Amino acid sequence: MTRVVVLASGQGSTLQALLDAFPPDGGAEGIGVAAVVCNTPGARALDRARRAGVPAILVDHRGRSREAFEAELCRAIDAHRPDLVCLAGFLRILSPEVAARYAGRMLNTHPALLPAFGGKGMYGERVHQAVLAAGAAVSGCTIHLVDATPDGGPIVAQAAVPVLPDDVPERLAARVQAEERRLYPQVVRWFARGRLQVAGRRPIWRDGEGAA
């Protein structure tokens, strides 16, 4: 079974899409969410994991050093022997050391079309506010590998949505998140089946098929 550990911080709607697609026993596809690690006490993501029968682990970032937080985070992740680590609405920036530890097997979803509207301070609703303030005509989501640069790792897949004239951040977010829920499980499947590899900054699909 391909073991997926998901990191989340909040509502967990993206996490839910992964839980629905990949039950803890691996289901028919042999891909299972093995654990959910969350840095926010009381986050809905923890409830969603428990309801799916998946270990829900809280590693609180508050009141201690980044080093201590990340050391416990890595212990929690590693205890579940992941083949793949998926950040799904995980709102802490991870140090280059953590990125290096999971190099090539840690994915993130970002709610905009990177490399625009990413980087430090760009998360959740702030991203959609920035997209609207810039007058962009399209937005979307980006699934990328995590490396030492926040939101800067190789792009694996993207999906675009229109920005509508009367949009507010909430409505744009809902449109983007629907695409995240569709695209993220698909990318996990590609990885699990060994169909997708990343050479340098560019994704390569085996069998000549693309991401479309």
Q: Which residues bind ligand GAR (CB under 6 A)?
A: 8, 10-15, 88-89, 91, 109-111, 123-124, 127, 177, 180
110 is catalytic: yes
DSSP string over the chain? -EEEEEEE-S--HHHHHHHHHS-TT-TTTTEEEEEEEESSTT-HHHHHHHHTT--EEE---TTS-HHHHHHHHHHHHHTT--SEEEESS--SPPPHHHHHHTTTSEEEEESS-TTTT-STT--THHHHHHHHHHT-SEEEEEEEE--SSTT-SPEEEEEEEEPPTT--HHHHHHHHHHHHHHHHHHHHHHHHTT-EEEETTEEEEGGG----
Q: Please identify, using beta-carbon distances, which residue of 99 and 208 lies nearer to ligand GAR.
A: 99
What is the nearest approach in angstroms of ligand GAR to the Cβ of residue 163?
Answer: 15
How far from the centroid of its chain's Cα atoms is residue 81's Cα?
18
Q: Please identify, using beta-carbon distances, which residue of 186 and 193 lies nearer to ligand GAR.
A: 186
Q: Please identify, using beta-carbon distances, which residue of 11 and 72 lies nearer to ligand GAR.
A: 11
β-sheet bridge partners, residue 161: 139
What is the nearest approach in angstroms of ligand GAR to the Cβ of residue 183?
Answer: 11
Q: Please identify, using beta-carbon distances, which residue of 8 and 106 lies nearer to ligand GAR.
A: 8
Catalytic residue IDs: 110
